[in-house]
Amino acid sequence: MNLGNDGFDAHRGDRDRTQGLPELLTVAEVAALVRVSKMTIYRMIRKGELPAIAVGKSYRIPKEDVRRLTQSRGGLRDTHDQ
């Protein structure tokens, strides 16, 4: 697979937004990557929708789980009114 600098594979028509990132990401990094608030990521962790590793008082999210989240259809949904 030949990905350009932006992680876009023209042959497959998809993006790997996690390319070049460390294996464990912070909540802020994941939120910025998927363009949601940090609170949304914390809610997903609390509900078990996004696996995370507790490190002291913070969390780290495995890159592979973020990749699945960004590539799955309907992976993120608006839970503001729930």
The mean predicted confidence, pLDDT, of the chain is 78
**Residue 58 sits in a domain of what CATH number?**
3.90.105
8 A C-beta contact, residue 36 and residue 76: yes
Element housing 16 (H / E): none
| Residue 80 included in any domain | no
Segment 42-62, tens digit of pLDDT: 999 999 999 999 999 999 999
pLDDT band for position 72 (cuts 50, 70, 90): confident
Question: What is the pTM (predicted TM-score) of this model?
Answer: 0.65
8 A C-beta contact, residue 76 and residue 47: no
Q: Which domain holds residue 40?
A: 17-71
Q: 8 vs 56, which has greater pLDDT? A: 56
Q: How far is CA 38 from CA 10, 45, 71, 75, 79, in A?
A: 31, 11, 19, 16, 13
| Residue 55 included in any domain | yes
pLDDT at 69 over 50: yes
Please count the structural domains in the chain. 1
